[in-house]
Amino acid sequence: MSKASAPRRLGDNEASATLRSVRVSPQKLNLVASAIRGKSAESALSTLTFSPRRVSNEVKKLLQSAIANAENNHQLDVDRLVVSEATVGKSFVMRRWRARARGRVGRIEKPYSNITIVVREREGD
């Protein structure tokens, strides 16, 4: 016997995708995520395409994955999808060091982040 499956956390008209351990600080990633929150999927893709930020290309791939999940796994209409949530969280921090004067050490922190995008099908229309 196996364990009973957990109930689905999202609604029937929602789909999500998650990207873990992105090599960028959560603060910088949140700037990109806030640029697409609440926009239609088509508008969010064009915003990410022309964004000058380095991480926007990875967020664009994640959004395309969430759209594909909505279409293939949940049979949602791609033309009516909206980015309902884009949450950013901290992952681990790699700590490195650099030699400084008089035998001291300067600490270098390399933060990693997680991001989850939830797309929802608009009602009506």
14-121 maps to CATH 3.90.470.10: yes
Handedness of CA 46, 49, 54, 60 (dihedral sign): positive
Which residue in this structure is represented by tokens 């909206």? Answer: 82
Contact yes or no for 38/82 (Cβ under 8 A): yes
pTM of the model as a whole = 0.91
Over residues 72-82, the mean pLDDT reads 94
pLDDT digits over 31-74, tens only?
A: 999 999 999 999 999 999 999 999 999 999 999 999 999 999 99
Q: How far is CA 11 from CA 61, 87, 98, 113, in A?
A: 23, 17, 49, 25
